[in-house]
Chains A and B, each alone.
Chain A
């Protein structure tokens, strides 16, 4: 009830001193705006680095493979083999939700374009043949790729009929590299969707002067098949082609043979929560598996994170200074209004009412400052985004990504910091005012 009265009176008081409060709020708004701007920029650049430039895994996934320096016997029941049995052991670890296998194609594959395939895409013949690295991927992992472009349903074993094209996916990053290169070379840039359905031919089991083991021994002959691109994914091989894992397993069994044909290359381990990742990583390390990381990518991301923290810290300094300024303004305002507060005390206001009144005034100022600051920060980031988009070529990476990422937590932290700093700044003047002797204030 007391608070309701203080709330009503605080509105009236704010309306009276709106200019003073606006000036005070401006400092806090600048702090909030810079905090939001830099936090969103840091999060945005971090996201671009992780998702688009250096494909890293989500925070609840790691990719592990056998450590050649560790004794393989610990990996699974089948000594020195990293296979389905090993994957089951990893999947059974506490904190693991599920695992996804990756398998290298242990055989040469040559890719080329038949005349009709080249005509269909380029409008002319292309006489190029090249050795293509290939690997197999568990199709279920594509469900975890939010940036996947294409048709996930098509990415499965095509069946026994040889006339069916083998589905394959390409790397999202490979496409972006192509766009950058094409633009700088002045050659046509095709949108990603144009490559969906693109078909080319492959010769499986034979390379330039090399053959798969069972081809070499004459047990099987190389085969020619058609491959169709059905999507782009961050999980695809960066340079090469990625098939459904069952396809690669069959290739290895048919053309390479032996127990090594059943070995998996690596395992993407998904944990229940990001927090359980550390324990799971330690457990897999104890099993003789090492975590696959891109050290360069990690370094770049660490630099981005450090810069984000630095600018975030600068924004905090601005907020702290603004909070002190707010305290100073409230101290002088409450001093000026000493008689007014003493009158309220004479009319029956309690100390709680007086401190609440000053607190509410500070809260409304802070709320305005937070709204103004967050709005300004968002507007500034939108302006910078528009400037960057206008300055780069349409297909380049910077034209297709958001430089800023506004997480709800960033907004909440900015608002919380502004309101917190304002309340802290006004706290001492509010308490001092509430405890000021009304009799002496009225007499003076």
Chain B
């Protein structure tokens, strides 16, 4: 359960203070598929980063399963991101010098910091291939991301987000850099994961198709939730 109360976030910009979030209240239940829609600059990405514990400069209350994120230390928050959150970015953000399998099991590098058992390389590699199989890319496990198409890269990124079997997946315009057909494939994968694994999915998007796939749509306007 994600609970947000009076969430505010502002930044210092060259032309003055920007109020990115102006008091957001909402709850997202476990296993929900939520799409956040809104114009550019409406605060969608900032909201998503706050939910994922990447942005800690907010005011207000934001808790996940009863734990207030702002009260966590940096190390604890890193552990939270590693275990509970899976991120999928618009630009994929894969590490180009690692193979697809290595990219997928990068989260295993940080497991030790959270007191969680660190996987051996062989075990991590096996699990990475399993995740790639889930997104139909096990044959590309040994390839570098540079030779993949945009859609394939995003599928690798989804496999990486799922590596530690998180309860929440946050997507920041995951289909924004893809053509319509490929974007539809990504939406289908997210729908399937939601249905099969019961993962909570929160996606920032401009796409109607993604919005239709979500069970709930939140609209943002100038840092506020409109609906």
Which of the 9-residue segments A2-10, A144-152, A319-327 touches chain B?
A: A2-10
Q: How many residues of A contact B (CB 8 A)?
A: 29
B contact patch SS: helix
Given contacts A348-B83, A350-B74, A350-B113, contact A343 B118 (CB under 8 A): no
A279 smallest CB distance to B (angstroms)? 54
Chain B, 98-155, CB within 8 A of any chain A CB = 98, 102, 106-114, 118, 121
Question: Counting CB contacts under 8 A, is B23 at the interface?
Answer: no
Are A348 and B107 in contact, with the CB atoms below 8 A?
Answer: yes
Question: Counting CB contacts under 8 A, is B81 at the interface?
Answer: yes
- B74, B87, B89, B109: residue with the most chain A Cβ atoms closer than 10 Å: B109
Chain A, 1-52, CB within 8 A of any chain B CB = 1-2, 4-6, 8-9, 12-13, 15-16
Are A347 and B81 in contact, with the CB atoms below 8 A?
Answer: yes
Residue of A with least CB distance to B78: A350
Given contacts A345-B78, A346-B81, contact A2 B49 (CB under 8 A): no
Task: Provide the bound-state CA to CA distance between A13 and B87, in Å.
Answer: 22
User: In the complex, which residues of chain B have a beta carbon less than 8 angstroms from the beta carbon of A347?
Assistant: 81-82, 87, 106-107, 110, 160
Counting residue pairs across A and B whose Cβ atoms lie within 8 Å, the total is: 93
- B46, B49, B164: residue with the most chain A Cβ atoms closer than 10 Å: B49
On B, residues with C-beta under 8 Å from A are 45-46, 49, 52, 54-55, 57, 74-75, 78-79, 81-83, 87, 89, 93, 95-98, 102, 106-114, 118, 121, 160, 164
User: In the complex, which residues of chain A have a beta carbon less than 8 angstroms from the beta carbon of B96?
Assistant: 16
Are B74 and A351 in contact, with the CB atoms below 8 A?
Answer: yes
Question: Counting CB contacts under 8 A, is A217 at the interface?
Answer: no
Are B54 and A346 in contact, with the CB atoms below 8 A?
Answer: yes
In the complex, the 5 A-B pairs of residues with the closest C-beta atoms, listed nearest first: A348-B82, A1-B112, A5-B109, A16-B97, A348-B110
User: In the complex, which residues of chain A have a beta carbon less than 8 angstroms from the beta carbon of B78?
Assistant: 345, 348-351, 353
User: In the complex, which residues of chain B have a beta carbon less than 8 angstroms from the beta carbon of A1?
Assistant: 111-113, 118
Task: Provide the bound-state CA to CA distance between A65 and B76, in Å.
Answer: 74
Q: Given contacts A346-B52, A348-B113, list 16 more A-B pairs with CB under 8 A.
A: A1-B111, A1-B113, A1-B118, A2-B113, A9-B109, A12-B98, A16-B96, A340-B95, A345-B78, A346-B93, A348-B111, A350-B78, A350-B79, A353-B78, A439-B54, A442-B54
Are B95 and A348 in contact, with the CB atoms below 8 A?
Answer: no
Question: Counting CB contacts under 8 A, is A352 at the interface?
Answer: yes
A10 smallest CB distance to B (angstroms)? 11
Task: Provide the bound-state CA to CA distance between A340 and B49, in Å.
Answer: 16
Are B49 and A353 in contact, with the CB atoms below 8 A?
Answer: no
Task: Provide the bound-state CA to CA distance between A347 and B98, in Å.
Answer: 15
Residue of B with least CB distance to A438: B54
Task: Provide the bound-state CA to CA distance between A28 and B45, in Å.
Answer: 44
- Pick 22 A–B contacts, CB within 8 A, sort by A: A1-B113, A1-B118, A2-B110, A5-B118, A8-B121, A9-B106, A343-B95, A346-B52, A346-B89, A347-B110, A348-B78, A348-B83, A348-B110, A348-B114, A349-B110, A350-B78, A353-B78, A353-B110, A439-B55, A442-B89, A442-B93, A443-B45
- B95, B96, B98, B118: residue with the most chain A Cβ atoms closer than 10 Å: B95
On A, residues with C-beta under 8 Å from B are 1-2, 4-6, 8-9, 12-13, 15-16, 339-340, 343-353, 437-439, 442-443
Across the interface, A439 reaches (CB within 8 A) one of B49, B79, B83, namely: B49
Task: Provide the bound-state CA to CA distance between A343 and B54, in Å.
Answer: 10
User: In the complex, which residues of chain A have a beta carbon less than 8 angstroms from the beta carbon of B121?
Assistant: 8
B143 smallest CB distance to A (angstroms)? 15
User: In the complex, which residues of chain B have a beta carbon less than 8 angstroms from the beta carbon of A344?
Assistant: 106, 110
User: In the complex, which residues of chain B have a beta carbon less than 8 angstroms from the beta carbon of A16?
Assistant: 96-97
User: In the complex, which residues of chain A have a beta carbon less than 8 angstroms from the beta carbon of B160?
Assistant: 347
Task: Provide the bound-state CA to CA distance between A222 and B201, in Å.
Answer: 116
B190 smallest CB distance to A (angstroms)? 18
Across the interface, B109 reaches (CB within 8 A) one of A8, A345, A351, namely: A8
Task: Provide the bound-state CA to CA distance between A1 and B109, in Å.
Answer: 8
B100 smallest CB distance to A (angstroms)? 14
User: In the complex, which residues of chain A have a beta carbon less than 8 angstroms from the beta carbon of B112?
Assistant: 1-2, 4-5
Task: Provide the bound-state CA to CA distance between A111 and B93, in Å.
Answer: 93
B154 smallest CB distance to A (angstroms)? 14
Are B74 and A349 in contact, with the CB atoms below 8 A?
Answer: no
B148 smallest CB distance to A (angstroms)? 17
Are A353 and B93 in contact, with the CB atoms below 8 A?
Answer: no
Across the interface, B93 reaches (CB within 8 A) one of A8, A339, A352, A437, namely: A339
User: In the complex, which residues of chain B have a beta carbon less than 8 angstroms from the beta carbon of A346?
Assistant: 52, 54, 81, 87, 89, 93
Residue of A with least CB distance to B73: A350
User: In the complex, which residues of chain A have a beta carbon less than 8 angstroms from the beta carbon of B98?
Assistant: 12
Given contacts A346-B87, A438-B54, contact A352 B95 (CB under 8 A): no
A19 smallest CB distance to B (angstroms)? 13
User: In the complex, which residues of chain B have a beta carbon less than 8 angstroms from the beta carbon of A4?
Assistant: 112, 118
B92 smallest CB distance to A (angstroms)? 9
User: In the complex, which residues of chain B have a beta carbon less than 8 angstroms from the beta carbon of A352?
Assistant: 75, 113
Are A350 and B110 in contact, with the CB atoms below 8 A?
Answer: yes
